Structure 1
Amino acid sequence: MWQKSIGGSGEDGLFQTIALPEQSIVLGGHTASSISDNITVPGYGDIDYWLVKLAPENLSTSDNPLNPYSFYPNPTTESVTLRFETLQEEITITVYNQLSQKTQEMHFTNSESIPFSLNGDPGVYFVKIKTGHDTESSIKVIKK
């Protein structure tokens, strides 16, 4: 879930929303706002019209310093890679679907990089990673 504010402090209106195949969204509307909030240039008349294209952000673990690993690509079409900063003696990867049903469980030893496929239909999955140090974390993965 994400949130985005568009517009100014005056009257703004949204007339059209179009979902594009690459998962972007195009918004069309008008504004009577002066420079304020997201409005950074003065208007060209009483009412100005605008188009805004919003693209989804890729989910990533590399920006989180608390995770000693990276997980990519996310979103994915099928295969993902889990890469640790150091060699891990024991790793358990458990995948759950959006109904919290376990769809996969995999065990690895002495690994630093683990490529694997997400089984199942496109949707949202939660990957739980547990290392031999009893460290657990979860990642939300989107499968296209």
Structure 2
Amino acid sequence: MADYWIVKLNGQGIVEWDTRLGGSLVDVPWDVELTTDGGYIVAGYSASTDGDVTGNHGGYDYWVVKIDAAGDLVWEKSLGGTDNDRAISISQTTDGGFILTGYSNSSDGDISENQGSYDGWTVKLDNDGNLQWEMSLGGSKSDNFRSIAQTSDGGYVMTGWINSNDSGVVVLYGDSDFWVVKFGAETLGLATNENNDDISVHPNPVSETLYISTKQQVEEVKLYDMLGKQIFNSNYRSQIDVSRFQSGVYVLKLITDQGQFTKRILINQ
């Protein structure tokens, strides 16, 4: 079966070293980048559960491999759920970590939610490969990201294509469109802790009134758009009128006596 095969050439095209990494099933590398320590970061996807691959959730997972300047394995990380998740692009970030993106049709494991079929799935790792946050965007059809880069404001920009017309993110011009998404640094700095039995946010999608119910003591409620701009800030209230906001994806942040809770909200007008 296929492995990651990484080859280092010198300026004259002569092989300096090569390394093969993977397991007994299919492992497909898709992107590689030189890192600040002189090594390399490689992203792709893997169906293996043995060999160099650990932590597979099922189907294809994002598989991220960090190697040193000589091609030796430093660490590896599987990310995903029980369906198929394919990493396409990776880049080192200014904090020494890594940002990667691709597409996923999983709705469990490391993925907090799926809108249907494939979504664009973006993941932030620290320098040691630990998951810091993740975010899915898309609609009921197949949507994906193909590249990602950090921007000068600390946010990120992704490009790909979208087939969904019900994503709340974009209105299609045709059957399948180019898709460019900009995330603000503030939005993506929010922790992904959407699953909390003590907090209920409904309905979602919402068009008029968003209801919040919790037994925790809420100190502050904030709402951000996808550029990271704060558009609402208040002391705790159980209802928020969202009818004045444009259709799209937003991030709701609750600050409670037990920590912070965030959830993506889809506003449909």
Greater relative contact order: 1 or 2 (C-alpha under 8 angstroms, separation 6 or more)? Answer: 1
Larger Rg: 1
- TM-score, normalisation: structure 2: 0.27
